[in-house]
């Protein structure tokens, strides 16, 4: 390769490195924001969970469809949560692969896609997608995830789905994401022993409270899932961009070495030419 060409390559790799490095920083700050929001949602979610557990323990007899977890026959609904954007390692592909294998195992499954990447890919590979939400992660607000939750609730209550599951990336740490499937309906309170020991009076009555509570728990579950997925996405992007930046640095090193060798070779050739020219004159 000519010296000039190498120079051009080096400059272009440097540009790429600048971009990946900037993306890494942006992902890191988005990640922090998502993490703070996960923490902020906790008091509210725990409050509802404790209420639910207390009620469940108290009147096991009056079961509501939102809470009834005895196995039932019927269709499955899988909510597939991916990102809206790419460049985040295997974040999206992992989910899509898992979704396809889930459909193969459970042929009677309908799909709701959240996130552009999952929708773009799954609608080509299966005809099971009945609804999709795109662009939620650009501007994360509670009411947006509530819309998704309300739609899913409506499907559960008025169309005979036995269960509603969500497939998403659980946020473990900035460098680790786990793909998990969580059952959101029927509503299951978190495993914990915290039950309120106070004997409350319920207004208007326990059944009305439990029905409304089921919906609200579902809303906040969905919100938490969206937040986790978005945190995981940013974490995955951060890792991917970090290794891209490292690769670029490595490549620049190798190219610079090659550039210097070529330069040295050119100089050596020139000196030899001059020296032999001078020799010829002297003789």
Partner 1 sequence: MSKIKLEVRKPEGQVVKAEFDQVIVPGIEGDFGVLPGHTPFITRLRPGILTCIDNTVETRWAIHDGFVTVEADMVLIACEIAEKSDDIDAERAREAHKRAEKRLRVKQDDTDFRRAEMALHRAVARLGSLKSDSEL
Question: With respect to partner 1, which residue has the nearer C-beta, 212 or 246?
Answer: 212
Contact 81, 117 (CB under 8 A): no
The yes or no reply on residue 202 touching partner 1 (CB under 8 A) is yes
Element (DSSP H or E) covering residue 169: strand 161-173
At 153 the three-state DSSP class reads helix
Element (DSSP H or E) covering residue 184: strand 176-185
The sign of the dihedral angle between the CA atoms of 118, 109, 100, 38 is positive
The yes or no reply on residue 199 touching partner 1 (CB under 8 A) is yes
Q: How far is the CB of 220 from partner 1 (least distance, A)?
A: 5
Torsion of CA 83, 84, 86, 87, to 10 degrees: -80
Positions 37 through 66 that interact with partner 1 (CB under 8 A): 37, 40-41, 43-45, 47-48, 51
The yes or no reply on residue 155 touching partner 1 (CB under 8 A) is no
And the tokens for 60? Answer: 């096991």
Phi, psi of 181 (to 5 degrees): -115, 125
The yes or no reply on residue 98 touching partner 1 (CB under 8 A) is no
Question: With respect to partner 1, which residue has the nearer C-beta, 43 or 107?
Answer: 43
Binding partner 1 (rule: CB under 8 A), the pick from 201, 279, 282, 283 is 201
The yes or no reply on residue 208 touching partner 1 (CB under 8 A) is yes
Q: List residues near partner 1 by CB under 8 A.
A: 37, 40-41, 43-45, 47-48, 51, 142, 146, 198-204, 208-209, 212-213, 216, 219-220, 223
């Amino acid at each position: 390769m000519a010296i000039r060409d190498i120079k051009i390559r080096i400059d272009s790799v440097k540009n790429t490195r600048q971009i990946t490095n900037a993306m890494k920083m942006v992902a890191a700050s988005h990640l922090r924001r998502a993490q703070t929001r996960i923490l902020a949602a906790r008091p509210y979610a725990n409050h509802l969970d404790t209420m639910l557990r207390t009620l469940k323990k108290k009147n096991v007899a009056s079961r509501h469809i939102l809470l009834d977890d005895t196995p039932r026959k019927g269709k499955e609904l899988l909510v597939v949560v991916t990102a809206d954007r790419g460049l985040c390692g295997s974040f999206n592909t992992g989910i899509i692969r898992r979704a396809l294998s889930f459909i193969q195992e459970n042929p009677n499954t309908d799909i709701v896609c959240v996130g552009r990447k999952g929708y773009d890919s799954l609608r080509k590979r299966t005809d099971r997608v009945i609804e999709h939400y795109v662009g939620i992660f650009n501007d994360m607000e509670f009411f947006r995830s509530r819309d998704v939750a309300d739609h899913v609730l409506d499907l559960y209550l008025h169309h005979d789905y036995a269960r509603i599951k969500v497939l998403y990336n659980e946020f473990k740490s900035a460098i680790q994401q786990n793909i998990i499937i969580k059952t959101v309906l029927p509503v299951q309170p978190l495993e914990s022993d915290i039950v309120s020991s106070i004997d409350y009076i319920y207004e208007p009555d326990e059944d009305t409270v439990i029905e409304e509570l089921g919906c609200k728990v579902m809303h906040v579950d969905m919100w938490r899932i969206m937040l986790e997925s978005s945190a995981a996405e940013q974490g995955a992007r951060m890792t991917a961009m970090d290794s891209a930046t490292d690769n670029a640095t490595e490549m620049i090193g190798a190219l610079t070495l090659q550039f210097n060798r070529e330069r040295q070779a050119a100089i050596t050739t020139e000196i030899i030419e001059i020296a032999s020219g001078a020799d010829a004159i002297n003789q």
